[in-house]
Structure 1
Amino acid sequence: MYTREQASQLRQAFWTAFGHYMQPVPAASGEKINWVNYKTGIRQLYFKMDADRDNAFIGIQITHSDAEKRHLFYQTLLQMKPQLHEALDEEWQWQEETENESGKPISFIYTELDEVNVLNQKDWPALISFFKPRLIALDRFWYDVKDIFELLG
């Protein structure tokens, strides 16, 4: 077992390693990007990645406090579902109404990788192989559709 501090240090070490691994990869726009802290440019719409002792996930999280705005963003993405799944080369799970870790309502589109442990460095290659192509695909998709969400505000 790890102490809370050791677990925190291992998580931080993983995300730092992932950031270094992704650093040479340009965004779809051709610009340099902070992959670990990806900025969509749209308030309350995020690309979220996380890993713990049991699994990992990557997804699009809509956290708008206005339920109508959150619904509008979700429905817009739902209309783009074929384009998103084509970019990702896989289908993801769609939840229009769920809650985040804090109990706040969100919409979430995501995929998971089970039976990996971010605290086990032997699992890091599997985690990187899971996150990297999906994050790059999300970036390519977002590059094509971001303007629509800017108009929705």
Structure 2
Amino acid sequence: MDIRPIRADEVPVLIDDLWLPFADEMRGIDERDSLAEEVDVRTEAIDYRRAQLDDEDVQTFVAVEDGVLAGYTTVTYSEGPSVFARGPRAKIKDLYVAPENRGAGFGTELLERAHEWGRERDCESAALTVHARNETARQCYEAMDYETRYVKMDRPL
């Protein structure tokens, strides 16, 4: 397994083989996570990911096994508001491992690399959001010493 930053030529593969299946799994957990039907989601996702390649405060890492993208995570640098006594955070935006690679440590290795990236930028903590019904992901994060500090609530209007 190799964990490394994504290359520009891999962005379409990331979208097709990992991000779209991830989005489909999230829709299965909560219909409110369904992708829009009125836009070309694939093209917009590729454009969005390519734009991130030039942003030094965003990094997408991929797990590669036998030349194939097996999983990915995206991490961003986030300054703490000046009114709080806390430093910058590494925010984990996505983490996904293809089903056939789960249980082999890919998710853990991707998160560890994201943590390392944050430490390199003097972040004092890592933060992420996970769906309340995503028990598998929650167990993974808790095993890596993430703790619930806030509960996000919403409702339809």
TM-score, normalising length: structure 2: 0.31
- Structure having greater relative contact order (Cα 8 Å, sep ≥ 6): 1
Looking at secondary structure, tell me which structure has more helix per residue.
Answer: 1
